[in-house]
Amino acid sequence: MTTSDDDALAQRTAVRRGYDDLADAYAAERDESDHAALLDRFLTDAPDGRVLDAGCGAGQPVLARLADDRPVVGMDFSTAQIERASTVAPGRVAQGDMTALPFSDDAFAAVAAFYSIIHVPFDQHQAVYEEFARVLEPGGTLLVTVGAEDWNGRNDDWLDTGTAMEWSTYGAEKSRELLDDAGFDVYDVVGVVDTVQDGDAPDETRIVDPDAEDAGHPFCFARLAN
């Protein structure tokens, strides 16, 4: 799928503005217990060293889970989300763009990208994966949310806030191809039932088979080639 430059800019602007405007509502939906099993496995698989939470939002669940246990850096391009995340991991949050990460080569042992690349315009997904590969050490690990299918869409009243949000998701098959092209080996894909998408109160998100009917958001586990 392709996106014109004007459409890509409009989507990025809508996502940034949306996360600024609905910061309180989104934070109320996320909880530190979300994705606990995923994060436990991620930490088991990840080499020792710094972890990047790319698209950290308000710091839940990744920064909140890792801040006391691992050297971690959060990054987001929403000012309101950065302000919230900075209370979770003071002095360890940066503002930036996933298509041009403000970090040096080989700076991290692992990268987590929870519900972030799914907002990136289609034509920029490859650039994001290449940036993840650049800032990871050889053998570093990546855990990234992808789509259940190739899809893009917009919700003008997301989370009943009156605020618009946009998404562009590649399914697991296409995401595998892009990750492979960036130098990653996808060694597992798991399905996740996201309670935020269901509009329910925060709860521990369930891990299911990626082909399960209720698997709304698959997560890819990948390792950068040595």
pLDDT grade for 125, boundaries at 50, 70 and 90:
very high
- At residue 207, the pLDDT reads 79
- At residue 84, the pLDDT reads 95
What is the distance between the alpha carbons of residues 82 and 154, in angstroms, rounded to a whole number?
23
Describe the crossing of helices 172-181 and 125-135 by its angle, rounded to 10 degrees.
50
What is the distance between the alpha carbons of residues 189 and 172, in angstroms, rounded to a whole number?
8
What is the distance between the alpha carbons of residues 23 and 141, in angstroms, rounded to a whole number?
29
Residue 109: both structure tokens together: 């042992």
What is the distance between the alpha carbons of residues 65 and 39, in angstroms, rounded to a whole number?
8
> What SS3 state is found at 98?
coil
Q: How far is CA 48 from the centre of its chain?
A: 21
How many C-beta neighbours within 10 Å does residue 141 have? 24
- At residue 50, the pLDDT reads 97
The residue-averaged pLDDT of 108-124 equals 97
Residue 170: both structure tokens together: 């590649």
Residue 206's beta-bridge partner residues? 193
The residue-averaged pLDDT of 163-174 equals 95
Residue that the structure tokens 């899809």 belong to: 151
Amino acid at residue number 98: M
pLDDT tens column, 65-103: 999 889 999 999 999 999 999 999 999 999 999 999 999
Structural domains of the chain sorted by starting position, each given as residue range(s) with its CATH number in brackets: 5-199+207-224 (3.40.50.150)
Phi, psi (degrees; rounded to nearest 5) at 135: -85, -5
**DSSP-derived pairing of the beta strands 184-193 and 219-224:** antiparallel
pLDDT tens column, 30-75: 765 568 888 989 999 999 999 999 999 999 999 999 998 899 999 9
pLDDT grade for 135, boundaries at 50, 70 and 90:
very high
